Amino acid sequence: MSKTIGLIAGDGIGPEITEATVKVLNQLVADFKYIDIDLGGVAIDKHANPFPDESKAKLKEVDAVLMAAIGGPKYDDLPREMRPETGLLGLRKELETFANIRPAKVFDALAHLSSLKTEIVKGTDIVVVRELTGGIYFGQPSSNDGETGINTMVYSKEEVKRIARVAFDFAMKRSRKLCSVDKANVLNVSQLWRDAVTEVATDYPEVELSHMYVDNAAMQLIKDPKQFDVIVTGNLFGDILSDEASMLTGSIGLLPSASLGDGSKPGLYEPVHGSAPDIAGKGLANPAAMMLSAAMMLRYSFDMDKEATMLETAIQEILQAGITTADLGGSAGTQEIGEAIHKQLETALSKA
Ligand SMILES: NC(=O)c1ccc[n+]([C@@H]2O[C@H](COP(=O)([O-])OP(=O)(O)OC[C@H]3O[C@@H](n4cnc5c(N)ncnc54)[C@H](O)[C@@H]3O)[C@@H](O)[C@H]2O)c1
């Protein structure tokens, strides 16, 4: 049965990278259907609402959501409830995505772009699984009366076990190594986290589980990133560590992500970067992060592992051939990159 993708082209460079991504997706899977969904700035312009009811309703018709990016300076002065980011938070809430998956893979041809020495980062291939809907960003009480600021880190055992299962499932599909990051030497909530993850481990005897304190994890990521495969952690630690891990790769234009729930609602796939208003409309944007997000969608929402690998390989090959956008030190434009990947895929498909 053909799958339907909710497509959020969004703002800034969004429409440019979406066009390039849909072209390669069509090449790989002929019978995908697409439904355009307005979110962020474009939705504010059209509907005076960053996440209008019409967009919400469309989510019921789709099997996965592929988003480019939203936001831009035009909307900076709007009140918070009207801003593009509020639309994105609303979307994540609507889809009940509690697991944020951020791969950080260093492509051999680009290892020299990392701020760390090539021999340290070359071969790095990490996935950070971050709990997204709990922890200190949502815990109560939370207040600031001008004298005292309060936030509360809360996790229930079930919340921890739910994200742990996602991480163990990822580990099973990769090298069967999982590192759980916490601060169990100081925080009660982390002690509970550690116990809950250890409990889930009994259902995954093939996975080698280790625990690490977050301060050590931050150091180890810089010292020897190759020791990690899948990392699972809470909302706050995951926010920081996933950004740290992503910077090992040297480019924001190459970082995909997925936000997943329990499978009853569509997964959300989007590049880590924003709408890059400084280069919007100039044909300079790197479409690779959105394409790599599309590859995650193929793999995790549609079980199309072969097609996902083909797309990832085609991207890697053009990088290796030195065809890159300015963010990676090259001079190719969005269209040129799209065409080069298209060509690689054509060759791969003819051999398949
Ligand atoms: N998930 C999202 O949609 C998302 C995420 C982050 C920021 N934003 C929004 O995007 C807008 C711009 O934010 P920002 O400037 O802080 O971050 P940004 O990621 O848009 O841009 C940061 C820098 O990276 C470059 N860059 C980003 N993506 C690129 C790509 N694909 N190819 C080449 N270069 C790329 C930009 O040109 C810029 O110099 C803001 O309105 C922000 O709120 C949206």
CATH number (domain holding residue 338): 3.40.718.10
Which two three-digit tokens encode residue 47? 């509907």
Please tell me which residue in 203, 215, 262, 303 is annotated as part of the active site.
215
CA of 147 to the centre of ligand 1 (A): 35
Q: What is the 3-state secondary structure (H, E, C) of 208-267?
A: EEEEEEHHHHHHHHHHCHHHCCEEEECHHHHHHHHHHHHHCCCCHHHCEEEEECCCCCCE
pLDDT in the model for residue 10: 98
Q: Do both 231 and 113 map to the same domain?
A: yes
Q: What's the mean pLDDT in 104-130?
A: 93
Under the banding of pLDDT at 50, 70 and 90, the label for residue 310 is very high
Q: Do both 236 and 281 map to the same domain?
A: no
Domain extent at residue 209: 99-254
The average confidence (pLDDT) of the chain is 95
Ligand 1 atom, smallest distance to 287 CA: 31
104 pLDDT more than 80:
yes
Q: Do both 177 and 81 map to the same domain?
A: no
CA of 70 to the centre of ligand 1 (A): 9
Looking at 217, 238, 254, the residue that finishes a domain is: 254
Of 246, 296, 242, the closest CA to residue 267 belongs to 296
Please check whether residue 72 is in contact with residue 12, taking contact to mean a CB–CB distance below 8 angstroms: yes
Q: Do both 222 and 188 map to the same domain?
A: yes
Tens digit of pLDDT for each residue in 180-236?
A: 999 999 999 999 999 999 999 999 999 999 999 999 999 999 999 999 999 999 999
Which mutation among 44, 132, 275, 331 tests ligand 1's pocket best, with the greatest number of atoms within 8 A of CB? 275
CA of 52 to the centre of ligand 1 (A): 23
Q: What's the mean pLDDT in 279-293?
A: 97
pLDDT in the model for residue 246: 87
CB-defined site of ligand 1, < 6 Å: 13, 69-72, 85, 88, 252-253, 270, 273-279, 285-286, 289, 325, 327
Q: Report how far apart the first and last C-alpha atoms of the chain are (Å, whole number).
A: 22
pLDDT in the model for residue 109: 86
Q: Do both 181 and 281 map to the same domain?
A: no
Of 27, 34, 69, 22, the closest CA to residue 285 belongs to 69
3-class state of residue 163 by DSSP = helix
Q: Do both 294 and 249 map to the same domain?
A: no
121 pLDDT more than 70:
yes
pLDDT in the model for residue 141: 96
Q: Do both 272 and 211 map to the same domain?
A: no
Let me know if 204 is a catalytic residue.
no
Q: Do both 124 and 208 map to the same domain?
A: yes
Q: What's the mean pLDDT in 165-178?
A: 95
1 pLDDT more than 80:
no
Under the banding of pLDDT at 50, 70 and 90, the label for residue 311 is very high
Number of domains present in the structure of the chain: 2
Looking at 254, 276, 311, the residue that finishes a domain is: 254
Which mutation among 86, 273, 336 tests ligand 1's pocket best, with the greatest number of atoms within 8 A of CB? 273
Q: What's the mean pLDDT in 56-65?
A: 98
Q: Do both 157 and 226 map to the same domain?
A: yes
Looking at 228, 254, 280, the residue that finishes a domain is: 254
pTM: 0.92
DSSP state of 137: G
